[in-house]
């Protein structure tokens, strides 16, 4: 894994989690040592801190014990002490007896006790104080998981100089469940102390924003929550969105490639009696993981003689977890009785169809097990992500093996080529197990190939850079504000934080392109120079951005281009004009163009769709109108080459997503090109994109660097065509090919104003 170094902009990184990422082990000679502890959080985060170095604040794992700070590799560990009562009330009680079941679809009934809550608050305060005491000036504090949801606000109170991020590793519940929590308002306010709040899946983030909207005085603008100023705190913004976590896929693949790992995998199969099929389950022994359902399906297949007990083995690795919590003790008893019963009924002296392992293993042994397994069965009833599924895929360089995956795991969003199951549907689960056992190698190959690409493209470095990148963009804006950087003079008083200062990293690169003899300044419209608003027709370009673009276009050697997904007519609706100021304007994702003659791209008054395209469009419009036209909140926008389905005004986020999915199905059935945007799905009869049109525009102009700014996924096509001398600036969070990032349209306006100043010497004030 490479490329993380620049991510914190030289600031200290402080990780905060309930447990430190290490366990203390007693060696054979009686001495003690620290070993990395198993678990999702550690697996994901370890490779990041190995590269970046960090301070890590957390509990060392044993109650009533004081442990001095110590160092391992590039980590300085700062233990927080917990008493026996703290463990019982804050950890086993409120964290694992209230929040864990509540956030996992109430699979077990959550208990609400005021005493637990009271201790949760106190322990969170202790964590916040500890971080406040050890963090360097201006550090980035990254707080993890449900045990510490109050820490962001508590820490902000103590250390307003820090940039604070929070990542929730487990699901965030739907509103109907979260509202049961007597302390719901406090939890939301606690989280809103962060600058960035990350969730595993889109529905988690949507649910949080909806609830925050309802219970606090915040307003959601897309992924950003706007907190108004109060008498003792300035207004500020909080980014709340999904950042799906992943693994260090290359590191798993490397272990899998080692000859000794492959030998061990063969040995494991031999130890199991070389059965025809090895199935594997790997989970913390937790009631959310669907182990009971898995065993039930396996048992029924054996009872019905659908699988042959002598030809198959299910290896269930169940790592010990929360053994002092009642629900976990009961689960362990139940699983162990079931395993004994199944083996008693179907085993022979030399062969047991179920192998149950209740202990932790090294990374090498885990990988050997993944390689030995023909089928991995992952059946949680609810799971934030599930890294085991991704690890299995990362290890299977042979592109063999079948993954059965619950649709209720976050990983199901990316691993679409798995055999997706609803674990509550035992018949469906049995069918999937049978399919897996009999799946032809060709099909295994096809599915594994797709999944491997997903895991490698979105590895943990992507996750970390998305999350840290968002925090750093905010932190850089602040640092410039505090130290009065060179851009200071061009911005006026600003009431909302982060203020529109040009991040230093972007400022340096702007300086490089500003003096080129020819310069193309190209920008997206919505979300980039015009803030996102609920009704698309209400969007307006920020006056400061407009003024800057007009000055740039008037400057010798500079051309300004606007590249929008909107049609040219749709842009005109926003008062942007269609080239009156001499700008190059491209609409409909590159299908329309005005202000420059290009072959193959239609102008505002020429190059209309062909007769065939017109017929196609009419049919498409009729179908979309019939299927989606009557849905409340859906807006259909006819475009010269297609149709856009806007769902921003659909009130229920679940329904909005379903409608988007329905639109995509319809579009695919009609053979249209589909493009995903923020709460919009666009369909076009022509394949065009912003990258292609940007390339054509630059080819038609004198050669020189290009500045491109954009916020949406559709802008990635344009970032992708930029070269090393160009500058791409992504607005807001999310994966990107752009090399620069700013948090919001106000900062885009500041960037453009800065460019005007560098190029022309004219200083534009703030709006």
Q: What residues are labeled active site? A: 169, 383
CB closer to ligand ADQ out of 385 and 666: 385
Residue 722 touching ligand ADQ (CB under 6 A):
no
> Distance between CA atoms of 372 and 270, rounded to whole angstroms?
10
Give the tokens for residue 575. 């008062």
To ligand ADQ, the closest distance from the beta carbon of 451 in angstroms equals 16
Residue 366 touching ligand ADQ (CB under 6 A):
yes
> Distance between CA atoms of 486 and 567, rounded to whole angstroms?
39
Instruction: Pick one of 11, 236, 284, 566: the residue that binds ligand ADQ (CB under 6 A).
Output: 284
Interacting stretch for ligand ADQ, rule CB under 6 A, among 186-194, 234-242, 269-277, 379-387? 379-387
Instruction: Pick one of 54, 139, 282, 545: the residue that binds ligand ADQ (CB under 6 A).
Output: 282
Q: Using CA of residue 360, residue 363, residue 364, residue 368, what is the dihedral sign? A: positive
CB closer to ligand ADQ out of 245 and 644: 245
Task: Determine the residue with CB nearest ligand ADQ.
Answer: 40
Give the per-residue contact string, 211-250, with ligand ADQ (x = CB under 6 A; - = no).
Answer: ----------------------------------x-----
Interacting stretch for ligand ADQ, rule CB under 6 A, among 151-159, 337-345, 377-385, 508-516? 377-385
Instruction: Pick one of 360, 450, 607, 609: the residue that binds ligand ADQ (CB under 6 A).
Output: 360
CB closer to ligand ADQ out of 282 and 474: 282
DSSP 688: -
Residue 361 touching ligand ADQ (CB under 6 A):
yes
To ligand ADQ, the closest distance from the beta carbon of 71 in angstroms equals 24
Interacting stretch for ligand ADQ, rule CB under 6 A, among 360-368, 432-440, 646-654, 719-727? 360-368
Give the per-residue contact string, 31-60, with ligand ADQ (x = CB under 6 A; - = no).
Answer: -------xxxx-xx----------------
Residue 173 touching ligand ADQ (CB under 6 A):
no
* Touching ligand ADQ, residues 318-337 (CB under 6 A): 319
Give the tokens for residue 70. 């110590």
Which one, of 546, 529, 552, lies nearest residue 706 by Cα?
A: 552
Residue 386 touching ligand ADQ (CB under 6 A):
yes
CB closer to ligand ADQ out of 358 and 673: 358
CB closer to ligand ADQ out of 169 and 209: 169
Contact (Cβ atoms closer than 8 angstroms) between residue 627 and residue 617: no
To ligand ADQ, the closest distance from the beta carbon of 422 in angstroms equals 18
Q: Phi/psi at 281 (nearest 5 deg)?
A: -125, 135
Instruction: Pick one of 47, 384, 531, 653: the residue that binds ligand ADQ (CB under 6 A).
Output: 384
Helix or strand or coil: residue 744? coil
To ligand ADQ, the closest distance from the beta carbon of 387 in angstroms equals 4
Q: Phi/psi at 202 (nearest 5 deg)?
A: -55, -50
CB closer to ligand ADQ out of 317 and 433: 317
To ligand ADQ, the closest distance from the beta carbon of 531 in angstroms equals 32
| The length of the chain, given as a count of residues | 767
Quick count: other Cβ atoms within 10 Å of Cβ 114?
9
Distance of CA 305 to the CA centre of its chain: 43
To ligand ADQ, the closest distance from the beta carbon of 323 in angstroms equals 14
Quick count: other Cβ atoms within 10 Å of Cβ 493?
6
Interacting stretch for ligand ADQ, rule CB under 6 A, among 129-137, 227-235, 386-394, 548-556? 386-394
Q: How, if at all, do strands 312-319 and 277-284 pair?
A: parallel
Instruction: Pick one of 383, 487, 592, 631: the residue that binds ligand ADQ (CB under 6 A).
Output: 383
Residue 150 touching ligand ADQ (CB under 6 A):
no
> Distance between CA atoms of 520 and 731, rounded to whole angstroms?
18
* Touching ligand ADQ, residues 516-555 (CB under 6 A): none
- 371-400 burial, b at 16+ Cβ within 10 Å, e below that, comes to bbbbbbbbbbbbbbbbbbbbbbbbbbeebe
Instruction: Pick one of 385, 510, 541, 721: the residue that binds ligand ADQ (CB under 6 A).
Output: 385
> Distance between CA atoms of 483 and 767, rounded to whole angstroms?
22
- Count the residues of the shown chain that bind ligand ADQ, applying the rule CB under 6 A: 23
To ligand ADQ, the closest distance from the beta carbon of 171 in angstroms equals 8
Looking up tokens 């002092």 gives: 324
Contacts of 415 (CB under 8 A, 6+ apart): 389, 390, 393, 403, 405, 451, 454, 455
CB closer to ligand ADQ out of 112 and 361: 361
Our CA dihedral for 743, 749, 751, 752, rounded to 10 degrees, sits at 150
To ligand ADQ, the closest distance from the beta carbon of 577 in angstroms equals 47
To ligand ADQ, the closest distance from the beta carbon of 553 in angstroms equals 47
Class of residue 347 by CB neighbours under 10 A (exposed 0-12, middle 13-18, buried 19+): middle
What distances in angstroms separate CA 583 from CA 371, 516, 543, 601, 747, one per listed residue? 58, 19, 16, 16, 22
Q: How, if at all, do strands 680-684 and 642-646 pair?
A: antiparallel
Give the tokens for residue 10. 């030289």
CB closer to ligand ADQ out of 386 and 602: 386
To ligand ADQ, the closest distance from the beta carbon of 388 in angstroms equals 4
CB closer to ligand ADQ out of 46 and 569: 46
Contacts of 158 (CB under 8 A, 6+ apart): 128, 129, 132
Instruction: Pick one of 99, 153, 154, 170: the residue that binds ligand ADQ (CB under 6 A).
Output: 170
- In 423-548 the beta strands, taken as DSSP E runs, fall at 496-497, 519-523
Which one, of 444, 528, 485, 492, lies nearest residue 752 by Cα?
A: 528
CB closer to ligand ADQ out of 279 and 584: 279
Residue 317 touching ligand ADQ (CB under 6 A):
yes
DSSP 686: S
Half-sphere exposure of 628 (CA within 13 A, CB side): 28
To ligand ADQ, the closest distance from the beta carbon of 146 in angstroms equals 10
Give the tokens for residue 256. 């899998």
DSSP 182: T
CB closer to ligand ADQ out of 388 and 513: 388
Residue 419 touching ligand ADQ (CB under 6 A):
no
Looking up tokens 């970046």 gives: 52
Quick count: other Cβ atoms within 10 Å of Cβ 23?
18
First to last CA, the chain: 42
> Distance between CA atoms of 186 and 193, rounded to whole angstroms?
11
To ligand ADQ, the closest distance from the beta carbon of 16 in angstroms equals 15
* Touching ligand ADQ, residues 595-634 (CB under 6 A): none
Q: Which residues bind ligand ADQ (CB under 6 A)?
A: 38-41, 43-44, 169-170, 245, 282, 284, 317, 319, 360-361, 366, 383-388, 391
């Amino acid at each position: 894994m490479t490329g993380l170094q620049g991510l914190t902009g030289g600031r200290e990184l402080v990780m905060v989690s309930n447990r430190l990422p290490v366990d203390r082990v007693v060696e054979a000679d009686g001495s003690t040592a620290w070993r990395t502890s198993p678990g999702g959080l550690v697996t994901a985060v370890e490779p990041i801190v190995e590269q970046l170095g960090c301070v890590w604040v957390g509990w060392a794992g044993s109650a009533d014990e004081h442990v001095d700070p110590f160092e391992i590799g590039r980590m300085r560990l700062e233990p927080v002490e917990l008493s026996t009562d703290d463990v019982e009330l804050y950890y086993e009680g409120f964290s694992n007896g209230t929040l864990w079941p509540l956030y996992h679809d109430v699979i077990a009934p959550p208990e609400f006790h005021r005493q637990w809550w009271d201790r949760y608050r106190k322990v969170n305060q202790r964590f916040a104080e500890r971080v406040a005491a050890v963090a360097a000036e201006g550090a980035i504090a990254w707080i993890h998981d449900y045990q510490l949801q109050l820490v962001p606000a508590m820490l902000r109170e103590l250390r307003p100089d820090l940039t604070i991020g929070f990542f929730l590793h487990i699901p965030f519940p739907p509103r109907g469940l979260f509202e049961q929590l007597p302390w719901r308002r406090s939890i939301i306010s606690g989280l809103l102390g962060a600058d960035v709040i990350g969730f595993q899946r889109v529905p988690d983030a949507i649910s949080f924003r909806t609830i925050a909207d309802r219970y606090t005085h915040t307003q959601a603008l897309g992924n950003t929550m706007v907190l108004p100023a109060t008498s003792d705190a300035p207004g500020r913004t909080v980014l709340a969105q999904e950042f799906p976590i992943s693994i260090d896929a290359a590191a798993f693949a490397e272990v899998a490639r080692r000859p000794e790992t492959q030998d061990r995998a063969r040995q494991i199969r031999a130890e199991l009696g070389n059965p025809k099929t090895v199935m594997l389950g790997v989970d913390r022994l937790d009631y959310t993981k669907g182990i009971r359902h898995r065993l039930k399906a396996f048992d029924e297949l054996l009872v019905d003689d659908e699988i042959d007990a002598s030809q198959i083995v299910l290896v269930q690795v169940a790592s010990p977890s929360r053994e002092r919590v009642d629900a976990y003790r009961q689960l362990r008893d139940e699983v162990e009785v079931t395993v004994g019963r199944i083996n008693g009924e179907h085993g022979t002296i030399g062969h047991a169809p179920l192998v149950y392992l209740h202990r932790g293993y090294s990374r090498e042994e885990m990988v050997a097990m993944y390689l030995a397994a023909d089928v991995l069965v992952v059946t949680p009833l609810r799971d934030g992500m599930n890294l085991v599924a991704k690890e299995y895929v990362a290890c299977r360089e042979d592109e063999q093996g079948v993954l059965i995956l619950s649709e209720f795991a976050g990983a199901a969003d990316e691993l679409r080529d798995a055999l997706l199951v609803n674990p509550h549907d035992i018949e469906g689960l049995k069918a999937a197990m049978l399919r897996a056992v009999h799946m032809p190698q060709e099909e295994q190959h096809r599915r594994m190939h797709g999944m491997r690409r997903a895991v490698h493209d979105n590895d943990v470095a992507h996750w970390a850079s998305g999350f840290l990148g968002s925090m750093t963009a905010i932190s850089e804006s602040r640092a410039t504000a505090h130290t009065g950087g060179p851009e200071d003079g061009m911005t006026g008083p600003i009431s909302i934080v982060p203020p529109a200062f040009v991040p230093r990293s972007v400022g340096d690169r702007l300086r490089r392109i500003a003096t080129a003899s020819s310069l193309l300044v190209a920008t997206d419209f919505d979300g980039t120079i015009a803030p996102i608003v609920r009704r698309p027709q209400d969007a307006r370009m920020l006056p400061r951005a407009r003024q800057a673009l007009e000055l740039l276009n008037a400057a010798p050697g500079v051309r300004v281009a606007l590249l929008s997904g909107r049609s040219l007519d749709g842009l005109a609706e926003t008062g942007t004009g269609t080239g009156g100021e001499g700008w190059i304007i491209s609409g409909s994702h590159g299908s329309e163009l005005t202000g420059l003659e290009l072959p193959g791209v239609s102008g505002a008054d020429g190059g209309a769709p062909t007769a065939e395209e017109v017929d196609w469009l009419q049919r498409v419009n009729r179908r979309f109108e019939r299927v989606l036209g009557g849905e409340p909140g859906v807006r259909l926008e006819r475009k010269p080459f297609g149709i856009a389905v806007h769902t921003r005004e659909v009130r229920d986020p679940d329904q909005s997503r379903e409608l988007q999915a329905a639109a995509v199905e319809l579009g695919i059935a009609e053979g249209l090109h589909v493009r995903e945007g923020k709460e919009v799905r666009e369909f076009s009869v022509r394949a065009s994109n912003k990258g292609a049109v940007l390339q054509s525009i630059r080819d038609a102009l004198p050669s020189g660097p290009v500045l491109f700014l954009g916020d949406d996924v559709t802008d990635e096509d344009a970032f992708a065509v930029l070269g090393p001398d160009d500058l791409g600036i992504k607005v807001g969070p999310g994966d990107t090919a752009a090399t620069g990032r700013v948090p919001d349209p106000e900062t885009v306006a500041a960037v453009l104003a800065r460019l005007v100043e560098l190029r022309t010497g004219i200083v534009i004030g703030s709006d």
